[in-house]
Structure 1
Amino acid sequence: MSNSTLFLSSGFIRTPLQNGLGRYIPQLQRITFKFCKNHGGSRGVRDFIESDLMDFAKAHPGTVVYLKPRRHRSPCLVAEYLNGEREYLSCHAFSRDEVQKWLSHMCTKSGIPVMRFRKYQHTDYPTIQGVWNPFTHQAPEINTADFPHDVLSKPSNQEQTATEQLIEIFKKTQLKEMPEKEDK
C-alpha cells in the first residue's frame, strides 16, 4: 500500500441506485462557476463562459448552471451531485480547454468520494466458508493430466453418462407414444 492511500477513507464499491439498469440518470445536479470579471487568473473560466457555456447547457439539460462573479477572488467550480456530495475545484490560471476537460470529468462522476477499496468483493451476508471459485472442489490430479483421461473422464458415482441417460429417456417416450398412434 502506498502512502497516498493512507489518508483516504476506505469502503466498498457502490453504484448510485443501480444507475444505468433501466435508464441513465446524470448524477451532476448543479455546477457553479465562481470567477472574477477582471482578475487574470479567471481568464480561462471567462473564455469558457463566453464561448462554450451555451453548448454545455444544451448538451446537459438536467444540470443547472450558475454563474457567480466575485471581486478579487480566485476562480473555482463547485459541483453538487444527487447524493448530496459537493466537489470544489480551484481553476486558477486554467485555460479554456482545461476548464472544459474538468467540467466533462465532473459530469461523468457519480459524486461518490474517491476511496480506498477494502476488498475486491463484498456481500451483506458474509460466509464463513471463504470465496468459492470453479476449481475449489476439483481433484488435484487434473492439474497434470493429459485429456482425454480414462479414469478422470468416467463419472465416479454413475454407470451411465448423461448422454446415455437422455437416449434411454427418449426411447422410453417413443415406445409410450407408438401404441397411442396405432389405436387411432
Structure 2
Amino acid sequence: MSNKNMFMKSAFVRAPLQNGVGRYVCQLQRIVLKFCKSHGGSRGIRDFIEQDLVDFAKQNASVVVYLKPRRHRGPVLVAEYLNGDRVWMNVQNKTHSEITKWMEVLRTQQGDISGARLRKYQYTDYPSVQGPWTPFTFKDPELNVATLPDPKFGANNRLSISATEKLRLMFEKQAISEKDVKTGE
C-alpha cells in the first residue's frame, strides 16, 4: 500500500446541490480565455473568439467570459466552478473545432475531480440501513452448500415444457387453424 493518496484532496462523487433534481444549474461560473494577438499557436483560439464566442456567451448567459490578451504567451483556458475548483487547460496549436469541443467539455463538467481521491463510488442523501444490494441478496441459502449442477436449482425446473416443444405446438396449432380457414369451417 502506498501513501501517494496522502496529499490528494478527498472528495465524493455527487451532484452538487442536488443538481438536476428540480432544475439544472450550470456549474461553470466563469471562463477566462488567455491568448496572444500575434502568436501562431493562438490561431485556433483567435478563430473561436471571432466566430463562436458571441454565440457561446448568448447560449450560456450564466457563465462569465473574460478575454485576456497577453504578449508572447501560449493560449490557455481557465475555468472556475461553483464548488471552487479551477481547471487550467493549455490549448497551444489547437484548431478552432478542438477549442469548441473543449469549451463544451468545460461547460458541462462540475469541476476537476480527477485529481481527487474518491472516498466512495456511490453517494446518497438517505443511506440504506440494510446495506447495498448485490445479485446474491435474495438467493436461497441452500444454494451455498448445494453441489451444482442440481436440477432443484436449475432455471428450467419450473417449466413443464421446453421452448422448442412450445414452438412446435404453436406451429401445429397455426397449421390446423389455417387448414380450417381454407375448408370454410
Q: TM-score range by the shorter chain?
A: 0.5 to 0.7
Give a deviation string over 1:16-51, Cα, whole Å, max 9, x none. 111000000000001111001111111111111011
- C-alpha change, 1:121 and 1:38, in structure 2 (3 Å) is closer
Q: Percent identity?
A: 56
Tell me, yes or no, if the aligned pair for 2:86 and 2:112 is still in contact at 8 Å: no
| Residues in 1 aligned to 2:135 and 2:43: alpha-carbon distance in whole angstroms | 58
| Residues in 2 aligned to 1:101 and 1:53: alpha-carbon distance in whole angstroms | 13
- C-alpha change, 1:128 and 1:70, in structure 2 (3 Å) is same
Letter in 1 for 2:82: L
Q: What is the RMSD of the two structures over their aligned residues, measured on CA atoms?
A: 3.3
Segments of 5+ residues of structure 2 without an aligned counterpart are: 160-185
Letter in 1 for 2:106: M
| Residues in 1 aligned to 2:18 and 2:85: alpha-carbon distance in whole angstroms | 18
Which residue does 1:136 correspond to in 2?
A: 137
| Residues in 1 aligned to 2:49 and 2:122: alpha-carbon distance in whole angstroms | 43
Question: What pairs with 1:78-157 in structure 2 (closer than 5 Å)?
Answer: 78-114=78-114, 115=116, 117=118, 119-121=120-122, 131-133=132-134, 135-136=136-137, 138-141=139-142, 144=150, 145-146=153-154, 147-148=157-158
> How many correspondences in the alignment?
147
**1:44 match: secondary structure:** helix
Segments of 5+ residues of structure 1 without an aligned counterpart are: 150-184
| Residues in 2 aligned to 1:129 and 1:86: alpha-carbon distance in whole angstroms | 38
Which residue does 1:56 correspond to in 2?
A: 56
Which residue does 1:67 correspond to in 2?
A: 67
- C-alpha change, 1:81 and 1:119, in structure 2 (3 Å) is closer
| Residues in 1 aligned to 2:31 and 2:125: alpha-carbon distance in whole angstroms | 35
| Residues in 1 aligned to 2:48 and 2:138: alpha-carbon distance in whole angstroms | 60
Letter in 1 for 2:139: Q
| Residues in 1 aligned to 2:130 and 2:76: alpha-carbon distance in whole angstroms | 50
Tell me, yes or no, if the aligned pair for 2:87 and 2:112 is still in contact at 8 Å: no
Which residue does 1:15 correspond to in 2?
A: 15
